[in-house]
Amino acid sequence: METFFWIDKLVLVVILFLISLGIAAYQTYFERKLAAWIQDRVGPDRAGPFGILQPIADGVKMFLKEDFTPSNADRWLFIIGPGIAMFTSLITSAIIPWGPDLHLFGRTISLQVAELNIGILFAFGVISIGVYGIMIGGWSSNNKYSLFGAIRASSQMISYELAMGISAITIIMISGSLDLREIVQSQAGMNWNIFYQPVAFVVFFICALAETNRAPFDLPECENELIGGYHTEYSSMKLGLFLFSEYVAMFVSSAIMAILFFGGYNFPGMDYFAESPNLLAVLGLSVFFLKIFLFIFVFMWIRWTIPRFRFDQLMHLGWKVLIPIALVNMLITGFVTAWSNGWF
């Protein structure tokens, strides 16, 4: 039984790794297609039918480029930087409950790699160390534009982490657990948290945009001020890892938002499938991925619609708008929770 357990987890880890990378690769394709559609262009259409081989061509190009290290760069940190960025993007997918349990070969297979009872805190821990990849990469390049990008990234991430954490606390309060699977199960059917916590969702969503360095918060890499931001000096697959980790982070943060606010793999009418758990698992998985893709679409839609913030506007929004809103929302949630439990 123990060996089966490890084999299950190992297979799940490998599948998750491949899915995350595959989705990230095709996100680049859809990003460009969507940008083309919004700007009334055609977009990439040379590689394969409708250009669907474009991500593979991009990957091959990235690998074949010269891997250049600046002579004054801190060699080891220069290599470690993109690695940390990619690692922190990928590791969060380990705690996400992807679907209801599968029943195969007479055993119950959980579609979650690690069932932590501190699940959501683990996600925040990983987010908070995610900034090291950018900071180390930007500093070790020994370039002033890179350093500016790294400093912007770190101050932005520290500022928006607070509002993000406070808005997530409301979800912990109403579901009474830090475990992501329990949070999902408390939203069974259509009982989603978004109906109770719309304000927290808006704050969380804005902070997720900022944490993944997506427009309108892409100041760490804004090309018309900082050349390339923190990855100015990077080339070849090291640059590829930085760019790729942003897309993986987008995928994972969409999954987290779907879990916290949109019921994860829950969908209305789940009770009809209680007889056949495998069908339920497959349906739940597809519903979950549908929600994730919708979020990714909104992320891209925002990028091609809203212009970038100025840095003081960014700080103003983070500290003077989002944090007070999240705090007031948390206090109201606390009072309502205490009232409905009859504590006073």
Q: How far apart are CA 174 and CA 312, in angstroms?
A: 34
265's tokens? 């793999």
Query: At closest approach, how far in Å is the CB of 46 from other proteins?
Result: 42
Nearer to other proteins, 136 or 292 (CB): 136
x/- mask, other proteins, residues 118-157, rule CB under 8 A, reads: x--xx-xx-xxx-xx--xx--x-------x--xx--xx-x
155's tokens? 């101050």
Query: At closest approach, how far in Å is the CB of 130 from other proteins?
Result: 9
Nearer to other proteins, 29 or 145 (CB): 145
Q: What angle do CA 120, 122, 128 make, to 5 degrees?
A: 105
Alpha-carbon dihedral sign for residues 54, 59, 65, 69? positive
Site for other proteins in 160-189 (CB under 8 A): 161, 178
Query: 3-state class of 108 per DSSP?
Result: strand
Task: Specify the stretch interacting with other proteins by CB under 8 A; choose among 116-124, 262-270, 272-280, 320-328.
Answer: 116-124
Site for other proteins in 308-337 (CB under 8 A): none
Nearer to other proteins, 28 or 253 (CB): 253
Nearer to other proteins, 129 or 331 (CB): 129
Following CA atoms 149, 152, 158, 79 in sequence, which dihedral angle do they give, to the nearest 10 degrees? Answer: 10
Size of the site for other proteins (CB under 8 A): 25
The answer to whether 252 touches 243, Cβ cutoff 8 Å, is: no
Following CA atoms 11, 13, 19, 21 in sequence, which dihedral angle do they give, to the nearest 10 degrees? Answer: -130
Q: How far apart are CA 72 and CA 75, in angstroms?
A: 8
The answer to whether 209 touches 218, Cβ cutoff 8 Å, is: no
Q: Which of 98, 157, 111 is nearest to 133 (CA)?
A: 157
Nearer to other proteins, 139 or 247 (CB): 139
Query: At closest approach, how far in Å is the CB of 332 from other proteins?
Result: 20
Nearer to other proteins, 117 or 305 (CB): 117
Sorted by sequence, the CB contacts under 8 Å of residue 45 that are 6+ apart come out as: 51
Query: At closest approach, how far in Å is the CB of 89 from other proteins?
Result: 15
Q: How far apart are CA 97 and CA 285, in angstroms?
A: 10
Site for other proteins in 246-265 (CB under 8 A): none
Task: Specify the stretch interacting with other proteins by CB under 8 A; choose among 30-38, 117-125, 208-216, 297-305.
Answer: 117-125
Nearer to other proteins, 150 or 239 (CB): 150
Query: At closest approach, how far in Å is the CB of 192 from other proteins?
Result: 24
For residue 232, give the H/E element and its range: none
Q: Which of 99, 205, 219 is nearest to 152 (CA)?
A: 219
Query: At closest approach, how far in Å is the CB of 197 from other proteins?
Result: 21
Site for other proteins in 38-77 (CB under 8 A): 77
Q: How far apart are CA 110 and CA 101, in angstroms?
A: 5
212's tokens? 């993944």
Query: At closest approach, how far in Å is the CB of 284 from other proteins?
Result: 27
What beta strand segments (E) does the chain contain? 102-104, 107-109
Nearer to other proteins, 154 or 187 (CB): 154
Interaction between residue 117 and other proteins (CB under 8 A): yes
Query: At closest approach, how far in Å is the CB of 127 from other proteins?
Result: 8
Nearer to other proteins, 124 or 196 (CB): 124
**Which positions lie near other proteins, rule CB under 8 A?**
77, 116-118, 121-122, 124-125, 127-129, 131-132, 135-136, 139, 147, 150-151, 154-155, 157-158, 161, 178
